[in-house]
Structure 1
Amino acid sequence: MKFLVIAMVVAIITLCSALFISNQITKKEAGNEKMKEISTYISEGAMAFLKKEYKYLGIFITVVAIAIVIFLHINTAISFVLGAIFSMTAGYAGMKVGVKANVRTAEGARKGKNEALSIAFSGGAVMGLSVVGLGLLGLSFLAIIFNFNTEYITGFGLGASSIALFARVGGGIYTKAADVGADLVGKVEVGIPEDDPRNPAVIADNVGDNVGDIAGMGADLFESYVGSIISALTLGATVGSILGKNTLVFPIILASVGIISSIIGIFVVKNLKKGDPQKTLNLGMYISVLLMAIFSLILSYYTLGSIKPFYSVFVGILVGVIIGKVTEVYTSDSFKPVKSIAEKSQTGAATNIIEGIAVGMKSSVIPIILIAVGILLSYFMIGGANNKNVGLYGIALSAVGMLATSGIIISVDAYGPIADNAGGIAEMSKLPHNVREITDKLDSVGNTTAAVGKGFAIGSAALTALALFASYAQAVNLDSINLLNPLTLVGLLIGCMIPFLFAALTMQAVGKAAMQMVEEVRRQFKEKKGIMEGKTKPDYARCVEISTESALKEMLLPGILAIIIPLVVGLILGSEALAGTLAGALGTGVLVAMFMSNSGGAWDNAKKYIEGGEYGGKGSDAHKAAVVGDTVGDPFKDTSGPSMNILIKLMTIVSLVFATIIANYGGILFK
């Protein structure tokens, strides 16, 4: 119990730190009246979207909670509602501060790169600390009141995963519909710069950075964070007699020291004399990771009486860092893959897209090998050869280790869209050219850090989903999966198909919304005479409305399917068929997620590389081709790709929560 109290204290201190940093940001100068006006448009649009989205989600939460009370237990329903509310709170808090930080980052860029980086990173830090603080607070609180009953606590993960999927998909559709519409008409057809105030979709585009890349991303990583801890708790309950009585509390204590490590890393970045932004941010992450490794070694020995659990944790930490570095190589314009896409842009959009797809596919090879090696090492180094459950617990601890420093990972990730918004505000406010140069440099680094964050989330998704999958197998009494059983094979094929269906639905959703946006922007340029001369103000509100309506409408089907399909497969075909479905979705989902996220990030930075002066710079044929590639990559990296890791975990945790019903009533067609 004392460990749980300590964890709650750490969580409260973390949330207080987030509040402290938020207040520091608020005290910064918000710029001139024009900057404040634009920031108000962005803030109002973002809050209007969240308000409508949360109304939809409120209905969903109520319906699912009632179903859980009827078919399972009221305590599971309480956990579910708490997980959903905490997830929404994390996203809201991060976005609220993000819209404050963006205008202040633009103003800070007038004083220099260091000031702008400090403010943007501080805004991201509020998001990061809110996510881990709320996640740890919720789990430690439920562990106390339910006495570590994982059957109830898994409801918290279900709530977090459900909201994360809707938030990521809805926010992703919103931001990419606006982005695609603004780019295709503004940059390609009309030939005006990005974030030009004459573009009717420019406010919607900047709103989208907040609702998709901050609020959606926050809910996404909140789900990843709590999911990894829940998987370790669930498996820890089965190995207490072998590893000691503290196997249940160990993941929560690991998360606590991970937060402490993150806070130290955050304050190092905030107070360091800054040079290269990428190196500064990387240094903060490496310091946090090193501290986490040291703390976990000490904790492993003193709480479980052995350093073997530390090996599994360390494997997760190491694999996460290397995956992040590999992702950086494939998405940063400092390395060959992105430069090759830029080079191919000289011969048109087709060769740009071909190269981008190839780069994304190749980028999945090394991370998959790393995850495979990580699974084997974390399984066997803790003692999996002697006891299967101990090995599976090691895999779960590896996922916790990978995500324990989520506080700073999210801080670095969320900094990117804040810098992007700052650039938009600088452009619309007609600030000096050197201000936009600073924000563009920070934004380019932000694209890479966002891709690294996605790499962490996807890598941990594989480990977490595997651990939750093992928990599901135990709950329905499956010792193995027989692929010669036609029901299992059918389930496997269905599972392999789901990520492709999900990607198709989310891509088409962005396409539909983007078409509406393109038509509206074209209409305004045609009908509103004087926009190009700056004499007539575009109708920004209409574009915001289009993105909002499209996102809320199109997010429902993909989100509901992720919940319904596992239940339908389990009830109709049986628990073993569902196991095959989960395995298939895990296998293809991780690959599709990496491919899409990294392709999108590489396309974006290839465009920015050309905009920096290569191959003719802005306005050249190569630049136009790169804009098309980037437009294709937008839903890849910010809608479909990052949603995939939530999909595979949501399917797994739905199966785990409803495992009792599936075990008792599943396979109704074949009984």
Structure 2
Amino acid sequence: MISSILLAASGVAALLFAYFLTNSIDKESDGNDRMREIAGYIQQGAMAFLQREYKYLAFFIVFVAIVIGFFISIPTAICFVVGAVFSILAGFFGMKVAVKSNVRTAEAAKKGQQKALNIAFSGGAVMGMSVVGLGVIGIGVLAIIFNFDSDILTGFGLGASSIALFARVGGGIYTKAADVGADLVGKLEAGIPEDDPRNPAVIADNVGDNVGDVAGMGADLFESYVGAIISAITLGAIAFEGSEGVGFPMLLAAAGVIASIIGALIVRSSKAENPQRALDAGTYVSGVILVICAAVLGYITFGDFKAFAAVAIGLIVGLAIGKITEVYTSADYESVKEVARQSETGSATTIISGLAVGMKSTMFPILLISVGILMSYFILGGASNATMGLYGISLAAVGMLSTTGIVVSVDAYGPIADNAGGIAEMAGLPHEVRNITDKLDSVGNTTAAIGKGFAIGSAALTALALFASYAQAVNLSVIDILSPTTLVGVLIGAMLPFLYGALTMESVGRAANQMVNEVRRQFKEIPGIMEGETVPDYGTCIDISTTAALKEMILPGILAIAIPLGVGVLLGAEALGGLIGGAISSGVLLAILMSNAGAAWDNSKKYIESGVHGGKNSPAHKAGIVGDTVGDPFKDTAGPALNILIKLMTIVAVVFAPMIVEFGGLLLKILN
């Protein structure tokens, strides 16, 4: 009881801090009339998309809640609704403040980099604190209400995962349809700069940064965060007769919230000239605080440092994956420079080298995750006590995600800085202002890539922890890979991330095609656009992205829930376990490949723009734009969606485990 109260209290502290940050941002100047006009377009487009998306999701939430209430239990259905609503609220709060912060960041850049960094980061921190605050309040309060019944609490995780999928897919399709359309016609065909106000798709592109990279990423890590905590609670209840197994992950999460708040305060007070150094300082201080708290809490709770070791392993693996992601995606390192060099010989070699970087970048994260799994498993239990070993894996996942507050804050800072640069360009602010916003944006590209790497690593550990919870729920101690039904499950599971990636990539392609045709039409039919005498029709482009995103997100969302349930009901619990194992294996690899290849293409283009290999408008630059255009849906739509896919399918299996046990294997019964 005390642990859940402390958990909820830490969530309240996070929300109060978010409120304080919001007030501080509101007090800053939002610039001149032109800046306010542009920011108004972005804000209206972003909020209009969210409102329409939430109307769609309302029907989905009600339908799934009825199904859960009928087949599982009413309390689980209530938790599902709360998880879905809290995920929606986190995205809404975070994005509402993000679209306020972008114009204020651009205005603050007139006074210097430090002021602009402070506002951009504060805007991102509202998203970060909303994610962890609502997550731990939901778990803490529901745990008290439903007497720490972990089977019921899994409904909260399912609600969070369901909304995350739609937010990630819908937001990703929106932003990349606009981005690809703006780049192909604006940069390649018309030869005008990025964020040029003459481009009709430029406002939709800026809106997309918010709905995809702020609300989408927030929802992604919200569901990883609550999923890891709930999995640790579930396995802790099984591994220990007392309450210590349940209480420790709650106390750890509460400590992580406080550590994230302290880290955010350090970033805000930093005087470092390098923005990356300021962001790193907050991240590392949060990690150190968490490690100390984990050691103290682990010893007090269990009388030894084994639990602390598992937590530390998860945290170290998360930080290491972030650093490795930076090595493969930052222009400071050789991989991106090689992609830029290959661009000198055309688009084909750009694509080839970027794919090679993505493929190579899978090795070290997978090895790190594997080492983390083995060490956390054997430190706590191992072969002598498999349940304790699985609990160790879940603690590693909680350790990796305990500082989610600061991770999301740093990640959400990126799109705000990007938008600030766009507003500075469209409003015709002085060149030195754009230099500052470009520097902040450049750091933001790296933090976004690191955030995606963190999201992938946390998705793998969270999915494995939830997989362990599923195995316990259906009494699976081993899965026979030689069983034909299990093998079928593995193959279907391994295929799903590729199918899912294809569906989301095709969705972006169709939406981008509409956007390209609309931008071309406006350039051709509306006189005075290229001369800057006529304002383009931004609204039509915004509507194209909005309509396409909402339409295209439905099928992937339904499949992610329907396929695991179908396999479980038709082929049984073991086949569903095989499906989850196959999906995790291929999904994590494909997500890393797509995310890092896309980021490498993006940053190689920016590296060329800095003046190397011919600079802007050179053949290498045009090849780099093609690579970036291909990479956009890779890194911002398909790749991130795979993180959620593997977690959502796993938590669907956990929630519906009682139904699978009772009704599973119908096809086998018919065949036999």
Deviations 1:646-669 (A, max 9, x none): 100100000110011111111101
Q: Quote the residue 2:383 is aligned against.
A: 385
Q: Unpaired segments of 5 or more residues in structure 2?
A: none
* 1:406 counterpart = 2:404: yes
Q: Is the 8 A contact 2:175 2:205 kept in 1?
A: yes
Q: In the alignment, is residue 195 of structure 1 matched against residue 195 of structure 2?
A: yes
1:88 CA displacement: 0.4
SS at match of 1:615: coil
Report what 2:295 is aligned to. 297
Letter in 2 for 1:183: D
Q: What is the aligned partner in structure 1 of residue 516 from structure 2?
A: 518
Deviation at 1:252, TM superposition (A): 1.0
Alpha-carbon distance, 1:444 to partner: 1.4
Q: Deviations over 1:566-594 (max 9, x none)?
A: 00001111111111100000000000111
SS at match of 1:210: helix
Deviation per CA, 1:518-558: give whole Å up to 9, x if none: 00000000001110001111100000000000000000001
Aligned position for 1:254: 252
Q: Equivalents in 2 of 1:143, 1:59: separation in Å?
A: 27
1:384 Cα deviation from its structure 2 partner: 2.2
Query: What's 1:631 paired with?
Result: 629
Comparing 432-441 with 46-55, greater Cα deviation is found at 432-441
Shift of 1:616: 1.6
In the TM superposition, what is the alpha-carbon distance from 1:224 to its structure 2 partner? 0.9
Cα distance in 2, alignment partners of residues 68 and 661 from structure 1: 10
* SS at 2:111 equivalent: coil
5 Å-filtered alignment, 1:518-597, equals 518-597=516-595
Residues in 1 aligned to 2:382 and 2:253: alpha-carbon distance in whole angstroms: 23
Q: Does 1:178 align with 2:192?
A: no
The residue correspondences of 1:73-92 to structure 2 (distance < 5 A) are 73-92=73-92
1:216 paired with 2:242, answer: no
**Residue identity matched to 1:601:** A
1:253-297 CA distances to partner (integer Å, 9 max, x unpaired)?
A: 101001111111110010011211112111111111011101100
The question of 1:48 aligning with 2:48 is answered: yes
Work out the CA distance in 1 between the residues paired with 2:552 and 2:151: 33
Following the alignment from structure 2 to structure 1, what is the Cα–Cα distance between the partners of residues 602 and 115? Answer: 25
Q: Give a deviation string over 1:29-84, Cα, whole Å, max 9, x none.
A: 11111000000000000000000000000000000001111111110010000000
SS in structure 2 opposite 1:29? coil
Equivalent positions of 1:461-480 (< 5 A) are 461-480=459-478
SS of the equivalent of 2:617 reads: coil
Cα deviations by residue, 1:173-194 (Å, 9 ceiling, x for unpaired): 0000000000000000000000
- 1:576, 1:9 → 2: CA distance? 40
Partner of 2:481: 483
Match of 2:110 in 1: 110
Residue matched to 1:315: 313
Q: Which letter maps to 1:626?
A: G
> How many positions carry a matched residue from both structures?
669
Partner of 1:613: 611
Superposition pairs of residues 322-361 of structure 1, within 5 angstroms: 322-361=320-359
Q: CA deviation at 1:670?
A: 0.9
1:426 and 2:424 matched: yes
2:57 alignment counterpart: 57
**Structure 1 unmatched runs, 5+:** none
Equivalent residue runs for 1:18-37 within 5 Å:
18-37=18-37
How far apart are the structure 2 equivalents of 1:123 and 1:234? 34
Deviation at 1:398, TM superposition (A): 0.1
- Aligned partners of 1:240, 1:480: CA distance in 2, in Å? 21
2:280 equivalent in structure 1:
282
Letter in 2 for 1:193: P
1: CA distance between counterparts of 2:471 and 2:516?
A: 48
CA displacement at 1:304 relative to structure 2: 2.2
Does the Cα contact within 8 Å between 2:237 and 2:243 map onto a contact in 1? no
Deviation at 1:351, TM superposition (A): 0.7
Partner of 2:413: 415
Q: Runs of 4 or more off by more than 6 Å in structure 1? A: none
C-alpha RMSD of matched pairs (Å): 0.8
TM-score by length of 1: 0.99
CA positional deviation for 1:362: 0.6
Tell me, what secondary structure is at the counterpart of 1:249?
A: helix
Q: Whole-Å Cα distance in 1 between the matches of residues 578 and 503 of structure 2?
A: 23
Deviation at residue 491 of structure 1 after TM alignment:
0.6
> Hey, what does 2:492 align to over in structure 1?
494
Aligned to 2:207: 207
The superposition leaves residues 228-249 of structure 1 with CA deviations (integer Å, 9 ceiling, x where unpaired) of 10110111111113xx531111
- How far off its partner does 1:467 sit? 1.3
